[in-house]
Amino acid sequence: MTRRRELEEHRHKLGEIRDIMSSMKTLAYMETRKLSRFLDSQQEIVNSIEAMAADFISFIPETLLTPEMRNKETSNVYLLIGSERGFCGNYNETLLTAMESCVTEDANNKPIIVAIGHKLHVVLEEDPRVIAWIEGANVVEEIETVLMRIAGILVNLQATHPTLSLYVLYHGEGHGSVGPDDEHPILMQKLLPPFQRYLGKEAAFPHPPVLNVTPADFLLELTDHYLFASLHEILYSSLMAENRRRVQHLEGAIEHMDDKANELISQCNALRQEEIIEEIEVILLSATSFDTGRTKRPPVNN
């Protein structure tokens, strides 16, 4: 009886944990639905800015070819976007593996790392290359706060490192994967200096754009908008990937707990059957003893 009670208590606790995990999975799934609406709109904004930049640079490429842009003595800043919470498998470990492969290719420059996400910070806590860490977003409403903290760190870095090359590594969807996982690829985007890939591209329109400001001022303003919009898109994509990974991971955990609960039910049923058999044996032994006693009782004389 004691063993069966222990198994029943264990199964009850597993049921409570399963309910909690199921609620967490539902919340993560709801967050992906909400993020999909934000992400689609943000991608349209980034595409519009990139189209504008391509048109501008195709006619005025010398705006990008300033001495600062040609300076090879740049400081490489790697913005790593990990997870704020757990239950998403090896999400942060694969991100670090991809980062190390990128940093190895640039061994001449000492990388500067800014880590986003509590779980990522725990892994990188002793890494001397990390100069700052930022709490990640749990929900889409917190992304604005994360973005403001990123902007503050970049402003401080530019005060001591005039020429920055900003690389962002994150989990997302699309081309440019630098990780081994095709289902949940790790992407790398170079945001600063901006629009380098448009140099040498042919113009898509017959006439140059009409500007009300100098090309340098226009590029500076466009870069601010591009950096702000791109970081928004990247943070949305990263949080989307984190929640999708969490849903997948929790589904696997729930299935495992269901299998364990079914196993415990089978063990409890087996133990209950043994208990019933023992009770029947006790009853039969008692009945046999009673019948034996009646047989040996002497007859009553009238």
Span 89-106, pLDDT tens digits: 889 999 998 888 887 655
Q: Whole-prediction pTM value?
A: 0.81
- Looking up tokens 């009853």 gives 283
Pick the CATH number of 19-204+213-252 from 3.60.15.10, 3.30.70.270, 3.40.50.10490, 3.40.1380.10: 3.40.1380.10
Domain boundaries, the chain: 19-204+213-252
Cα separation, 163 vs 192, in Å, equals 9
- Note the pLDDT tens digit of each residue in 222-268: 999 999 999 999 999 999 999 999 999 899 888 888 888 888 888 88
In the structure, what pLDDT confidence band is assigned to residue 68 with cuts at 50, 70 and 90? low
Instruction: Tell me: pLDDT of 2 over 80.
Output: no
Please tell me the predicted confidence (pLDDT) of residue 106. Answer: 59
Helices 143-160 and 215-296, axial angle in degrees (round to 10) = 130
Residues contacting 167, CB < 8 A, separation 6+:
76, 77, 78, 79, 102, 188, 189, 190, 191
Strand order in the sheet with 186-192: 130-134, 112-116, 75-81, 164-171, 186-192
Question: DSSP secondary-structure letter at 194?
Answer: T
Helix or strand or coil: residue 75? strand
